[in-house]
């Protein structure tokens, strides 16, 4: 037809057919805080905390163990484990709710500290589900061609946001960082993500105060986290079991094919309830990092993976189901092959 112009076709992205975890690293703060120290600020006992959550002690960062420092330390260990040089990293994703500078993103500082070659860098705010969100995005980047190697970090300093006199939260939250390197694979290594949110229930886990209210108050202080524990327990115990089974189905495997179950380390009772609801066989190793680490939100799953590998519960090539859930209520689950 006269006057018709032919539009040039865009070149398709040259991504990898599959993505997988190439390496894992973690950083645990040096300060160990037993229940006996926490109960001094609340009307509770060591026995009550253990029964309620499974926690015996937690790690809290010292002044020198900043969020940036812990993120970089975990990332360097993941890079070393993967054999990937920092200059090969195309994107850095940091999942956290503990970075209190509105901008720039913590990820940009971490990328610089590591010596990446001007990698793309951004933070993810999805609370305890942030790490699984990051892994899902990294997998899509690698397969879509926008990155070949992606560094995903989960890092938190929740001790700064914990009210030491709040009986519902003072014993739960902790600090730490974990990281993975995601890159191309010869076969599927990261299954399809099942994720979502339930904003109608955002009030179940949230910051107590808005920053504007804090800054205009007579005595400004760090906003603290608050949680309706019983409601969260009921929601997570049953809803997340369904999400886990959906992730298995999308990955094309069943519970009998699993080697490891690595849920967000929120509460041992929630972990037990999910395992029962999914009817996991006794052969599946279950992460229990919360006992000695506490709840580290976005950092909890990579920290739990690190401990399982260190203690011989998880090995390279094992198939693991990751499930994370938290404020939002945001959640995500995927099946991965361990590096």
**Which residues are the active-site residues?**
128, 264, 295
Adjacent-strand bridge partners of 194:
333
Two structure tokens written together for 101: 């500078």
Adjacent-strand bridge partners of 150:
91, 182
Tell me which residue has tokens 């993975």: 180
Asked if residues 313 and 277 have their Cβ atoms less than 8 Å apart, the reply is no
CA distance 255 to 136: 21
CA distance 148 to 112: 18
CA distance 302 to 178: 5
Two structure tokens written together for 9: 């076709």
Asked if residues 155 and 83 have their Cβ atoms less than 8 Å apart, the reply is no
Axis-axis angle for helices 67-82, 106-114 (nearest 10): 50
SS3 content of the chain, % helix, strand, coil (to 5): 40, 25, 35
């Amino acid at each position: 037809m006269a006057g018709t112009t032919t539009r040039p076709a865009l070149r398709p992205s040259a991504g990898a057919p599959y993505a997988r975890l190439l390496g894992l690293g973690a950083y645990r703060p040096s300060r160990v805080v037993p229940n006996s120290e926490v109960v001094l600020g609340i009307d509770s006992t060591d026995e009550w905390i253990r029964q309620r959550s499974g926690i015996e002690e937690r790690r809290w960062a010292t002044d020198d163990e900043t969020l940036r420092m812990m993120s970089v330390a975990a990332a360097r260990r993941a890079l070393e484990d993967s054999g990937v040089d920092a200059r090969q990293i195309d994107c850095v994703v940091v999942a956290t709710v503990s970075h209190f500078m509105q901008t720039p993103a913590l990820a940009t500082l971490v990328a610089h500290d590591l010596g990446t070659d001007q990698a793309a860098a951004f933070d993810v705010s999805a609370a305890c589900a942030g790490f699984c969100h990051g892994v899902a995005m990294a997998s899509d980047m690698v397969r879509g061609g926008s990155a070949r190697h992606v560094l995903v970090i989960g890092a938190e300093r929740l001790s700064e946001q914990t009210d030491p006199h709040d009986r519902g939260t003072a014993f739960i939250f902790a600090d730490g960082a974990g990281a993975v390197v995601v890159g191309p694979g010869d076969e599927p290594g990261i299954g399809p993500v099942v994720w979502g949110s339930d904003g109608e229930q955002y009030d179940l886990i949230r910051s107590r105060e808005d920053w504007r209210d804090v800054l205009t108050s007579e005595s400004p202080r760090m906003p603290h986290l608050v949680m309706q524990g019983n409601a969260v327990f009921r929601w997570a115990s049953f809803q997340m079991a369904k999400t886990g089974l959906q992730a298995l189905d999308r990955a094309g495997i069943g519970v009998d094919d699993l080697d490891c179950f690595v849920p967000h380390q929120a509460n041992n009772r929630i972990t037990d309830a999910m395992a029962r609801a999914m009817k996991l066989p006794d052969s599946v190793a279950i992460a229990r990092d919360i006992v000695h680490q506490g709840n580290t939100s976005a950092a909890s799953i990579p920290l739990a993976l690190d401990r399982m590998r260190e203690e011989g519960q998880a090995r390279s090539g094992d198939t693991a189901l990751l499930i994370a859930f938290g404020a939002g209520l945001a959640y995500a689950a995927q099946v991965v092959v361990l590096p």
